[in-house]
A = this chain, B = another copy of it.
């Protein structure tokens, strides 16, 4: 008899494949859930693999559009930056994924949700824990002694996989870990752990090395309404994008082509320790610059001050995994309110890793050319 139905956040990788099987071994029925939030993944292969491993159902869900509109856009409105540098690409993806997982669990009347986050070297546990506040019955194998004493490392997982016919990755693992989505790719651990070591130049996947990027800028116009971008236009080419997903992907493309949004930082994790991370956030970085500009152009100075401190609070909250908390909802509401008049057009140039604001205009501007003179 089944111990119950589990919705597992499944990535298609070694860890969650083993977990899927192990959960079945333990007597659970397993639904595999894989969210497409823009990472580079063979979703078909992942689906087949999950089915082969005995998943009762497999949900592959394209969440890219809601990720942009409901998670990236609020971060843009907030100028969300953690500790003055990190644009929170991983932090805002967690609640998006978890929300859908919980919806599926409810819809399928599952008793449990489960995930493969280890807590080692990443804040995923804290993130997911908080998100799962929405669904308290969690199975977290990496916190279960039967699991973690059996699988003490990658080697154990590999053996288990081979033994049970789980396809094993053939390419050698990179000497760091990465987390990718539409907003960014983060790299950490492995050879990056030593904060003095430079990041290898072949690490980046979303952005060109500025040394090799085009020697001519691209000039864009970004139109904002209520603090979010509603259109991006390439001035020279005359092309434009105006749906959130297309628009954001286009900014990733242009930003990536010019090597925009690379940072190498040490950050303070929720747990208290410090961690070194490399991030590339091309489109998000372009938007941060553009939004800062149109916001300052259209917002009252004193409102801006208050909103700035709410934005810092917001950044801390989502970094720490509290997207679904009363305080985060409150802060989001207030920030959203502050954006009512953040409307207008910013012209900027993207070049060699940089975003240069060139000019701006707005029907709601508080700028008074007469007064300045």
Contacts and interface: CB of A to CB of B under 8 A. Distances in A.
A211 to B, nearest CB: 7
Q: How many copies does the complex hold?
A: 4
A318 to B, nearest CB: 13
Contacts of A266: 293, 296-297, 360, 367
A233 to B, nearest CB: 15
Contacts of A360: 195-196, 266
A215 B210 contact: no
A119 to B, nearest CB: 12
Interface string A285-317: 000000011001100111111111110110010
Contact of A354 (B210, B276, B369): B210
A88 to B, nearest CB: 15
A121 B215 CA distance: 36
A308 to B, nearest CB: 7
A371 interface: yes
A323 to B, nearest CB: 13
Nearest to A269: B301
A2 to B, nearest CB: 31
Contacts of A162: none
A195 B367 contact: yes
A331 interface: yes
Contacts of A304: 83, 268
A204 to B, nearest CB: 12
A353 to B, nearest CB: 4
A198 interface: yes
Contacts of A359: 195-198, 264
A334 interface: yes
A223 to B, nearest CB: 14
A81 B93 CA distance: 29
Nearest to A274: B367
A114 interface: no
B373 A120 contact: yes
Q: Which of A120, A197, A304, A326 has the most CB of B within 10 A?
A: A326
Contact of A356 (B85, B264, B357): B264
A193 interface: yes
A145 B308 CA distance: 41
Nearest to A367: B274
A184 interface: no
A152 B373 CA distance: 14
A217 interface: yes
A363 interface: no
A306 B293 contact: no
A373 B121 contact: yes
Interface in A250-285: 262-268, 272-276
Given A274-B368, A353-B353, 4 more contacts: A266-B367, A268-B296, A274-B301, A303-B330
18 contacts: A193-B373, A195-B297, A195-B359, A195-B361, A264-B358, A265-B293, A265-B296, A265-B357, A274-B297, A274-B301, A274-B366, A274-B372, A275-B372, A302-B327, A308-B312, A333-B337, A334-B337, A353-B353
4 residue pairs, one from A and one from B, having the closest CB atoms:
A268-B301, A302-B327, A352-B352, A300-B326
